[in-house]
Structure 1
Amino acid sequence: MTVATVRRPSAEGSHDENRRDSPPKGRRFAARMQRPGLWFALPAAVLLALFFAYPLVVSLLQSFFRTSGGVSTFVGLDQYARMFRDPLVLKSLGSALLILVVQVPIMMALAVGLAYLLNQAWLRFRAGFRLLTFLPSITTLVAYSVVFRVIMTTDGGMLNQVLALFGAGPIDWLNNEWWARVAVIASITWRWTGYNMVIILAGLQSIPPELYEAARIDGAGRWQTFRHIVVPQLRPVLIFTSVTSTIGALQLFDENFILTGGGPNNATLTPVLYLYKIGFQQFDFGYASAIAWMLVILTGIIAVIQFRIMREKP
C-alpha cells in the first residue's frame, strides 16, 4: 500500500511566483524616479501657466469686451472690425511689412555670406572674427538702441560728423520719414546678423565633406558648389532663421520706441508699439488685445507661407 504524499510549495517557490507577478526592478526604479521628476517640473509648469497660459486666455477674452468707466461690456467682434477702420493699424502693418520685406532679406544674405566666409579653412583668426560678428546679438536692446540714437543725432552725431569729412551734408536721421526707416532697419540688421550667422554656420559645419569632394571631382566651381550643395543642405536652417526673423520683424518694439517713438508722422510705427500706446497710454486694453491677436494670426499665416515656399522639394 502506497501513501500519496502532497508536496507543499516551498518558500523559494512562493518567492519565485511573487517575482513573476511583480514588475521588473528597472520598471519599479523608473516609476520611483518619475515621481520626484514631476515634482521638479511642477514649479516650471506653474510659472508657465501663470505667466503665459493665463495671460493668453485672458487677453483673448478681453478682446471681446470694451471697458468704459470701469465697466466691461461684451461687444463681440466689434474690436476686430474696428481695426479695419483704424488708419494707424494699417499704417503700422505697412511699416512692419516694409521692414520684413527689406530688412529680413538683407540680413539673411549678410548672415549667409559671413557664415560661408568664416567657415573657410584658409581664413586666419576665424574664432576671433566669429566672436566679433556675434557680439552685437548679446548687447541689450535698450543699450544698443540708445547708442544708435546718439550716433544718429542730427546735430553733432558721429555719423553726420563722418559724412562731413567727405563733404556730405548732415542728414536728419530720426526726424525724416525715409531716413528714420533706414535708421531702424540699420540698427536691427547690425544686431541680429551675427545671431543668424552663428546658426547658419552650425548648419554649414554639419554638411558632410564628401559632398564638397564630389563636387570638386565633377569640376564644380565655387558658385556651383554653393548653389547646388550648400543652399539645399542649408534649407532647414534657412527656414528656421527666416521664420524667426519674420516673427521678430512683426514684433518689433524696442528699437522703434527708443530711436523714433514711432515717428516721425507714424512712419516707424509698428503693431506692437501701437498696441502698447493703446493699452498703456490710452488704457484701452480690449482693443489692444484685439490688435495683439490679429498680429498672432498674421504671424502664423506668414510663417505657413514661408514653410510652403522654402520646404524641401521631394
Structure 2
Amino acid sequence: MDQTEKVVRTTTDFRVKNRKNLLTPKNAPYFFMGPAFLLILIFTVYPVISSFILSFQEVRGIEKSFVGFSNYSRLFHDPVFYKSLLNTFQILIVQVPIMLTLSLLIAAGLHSSMLKGKAFFRISYFMPAITALVAASIVFMILLDEHFGIVNYFLSFVGVDSIPWLTTPFWAKVSVIIVMTWRWTGYNMVIFLAGLQNIPSELYEAASIDGAGKVKQFFLITIPQLKPVFIFTVVMSTIGTLQLFDEPFILTNGGPNSATMTITLYLYETGFKFFEFGYASAIAYVLVLITAIISWIQMKLVGDEE
C-alpha cells in the first residue's frame, strides 16, 4: 500500500469515527430537530423580530429611518383604525355567540342515539370548514346579489322587499356574519361533539333515575361538563374573528363606507396598498396586544378558578 492510499484510508476512518461519535443516542434528537428548528427560526422567529423592529421605522423605497413611537402614536389619531376596530368588535360580539350556540345545538342533536346516518350529517356540517373560501364567497356574492340573488328571489315570495345585502353598511355586516357562521359552525360542532362523547353516560342515567328530563340534563350536566370545550372554542373563535380578513376582503372589500373594514384588512391595505410597512407593523403589534388582553380576560372570566 503506497503512501497516498494510507492517507485516504486514515482520513476516511477519521470521518467515520467522528460521525459515529456525533450520532450517539444522546445527540440523535438534536439532529432530527435541527432542520425543523432552523425553519422555525427563518420563517417565524426572524419575521416576528424583524416586523417588531420595523414598527419603529418609516420605510421610503429601500431606505428605512428610525421614528421611535411615531407609528404607535399615529394610531390614536387615526379614525379609520378606530372604525376598523369598532367593526371587528361588532362582528365579534354578534357572530361568535350565534355560531357557538348553533354548534352546540347541532352537536347535541348529532350525539343523540336516536339519529340515523350520523356520519353523513357530521360530514355535511363540517364540509364548509374545508371548502375553498374564495369559491364559497363567490357563491355567496351570487346568492346575496340585490337584483338577481336567489335569496332575495325567495324572500319576494313572502312579501319581503329586495334587501341590499352587500351595498349598505348594516346588511354588509350581516352578510359577513352569515358567511362566517356558515363556514365555522361545523368546525366548532366537531369540537363540541368530541366533548359530548367524553361525558360519562352514568351521569345521565343517574339524572334520569332522579327524574330529570332531557332539558334539565342538558343545562345541569351537559353544559357544566363542557366547560373546558367552551373555554377553548370561545378563545379560539375570538382570536379568529379578531384576525378576520378573507370574508370582508372578498365579499365587500371593506365597504360600503368602510362598514366591513376590519383590523387585519386595514393592516393589509396599509402595508400592501399604500406601502406604509412601518405603520402596518405597528397595527399588527397593537392587534397582538389586543388579542392577548381579550384572551386573558376570557380565560379569567370563564376559566377555572385555579
Same fold flag (TM > 0.5): yes
Q: Is residue 303 of structure 1 aligned with residue 295 of structure 2?
A: yes
1:246 counterpart (238, 244, 247): 238
Q: Secondary structure at the match of 1:85?
A: coil
- The corresponding residue for 1:77 is 69
Q: Is residue 277 of structure 1 aligned with residue 269 of structure 2?
A: yes
Q: Is residue 260 of structure 1 aligned with residue 287 of structure 2?
A: no
RMSD: 1.4
Give the residue type in structure 1 aligned to 2:238. T
Q: Is residue 184 of structure 1 aligned with residue 176 of structure 2?
A: yes
Q: Distance in 2 between matches of 1:150 and 1:34?
A: 60
User: Which residues of 2 match residues 25-36 of structure 1 at below 5 A?
Assistant: 32-33=24-25, 35-36=27-28
- The corresponding residue for 1:19 is none
User: Which residues of 2 match residues 1-314 of structure 1 at below 5 A?
Assistant: 32-33=24-25, 35-68=27-60, 70-313=62-305
Of the two, which has the highest radius of gyration?
1
- The corresponding residue for 1:4 is none
Q: Secondary structure at the match of 1:265?
A: coil
Q: Distance in 2 between matches of 1:33 and 1:191?
A: 47
Any stretches of 5+ residues in structure 2 without a counterpart? 1-22
- The corresponding residue for 1:13 is none
Q: Distance in 2 between matches of 1:128 and 1:56?
A: 42
Q: For 1:95-151, what per-residue CA distance to the aligned partner results, in whole angstroms no more than 9, with x for missing partners?
A: 110111000000010001111111010111122111111111111221211211121
Q: TM-score, structure 1 length as denominator?
A: 0.87
- Deviating beyond 3 angstroms after TM superposition, the runs of 4 or more aligned structure 1 residues are 31-37
Cα drift, residue 163 of structure 1: 1.6
Give the share of equivalent positions with the same residue, in percent.
50
Cα drift, residue 34 of structure 1: 5.1
Q: Distance in 2 between matches of 1:257 and 1:174?
A: 12
Any stretches of 5+ residues in structure 1 without a counterpart? 1-30
Q: TM-score, structure 2 length as denominator?
A: 0.89
- The corresponding residue for 1:6 is none
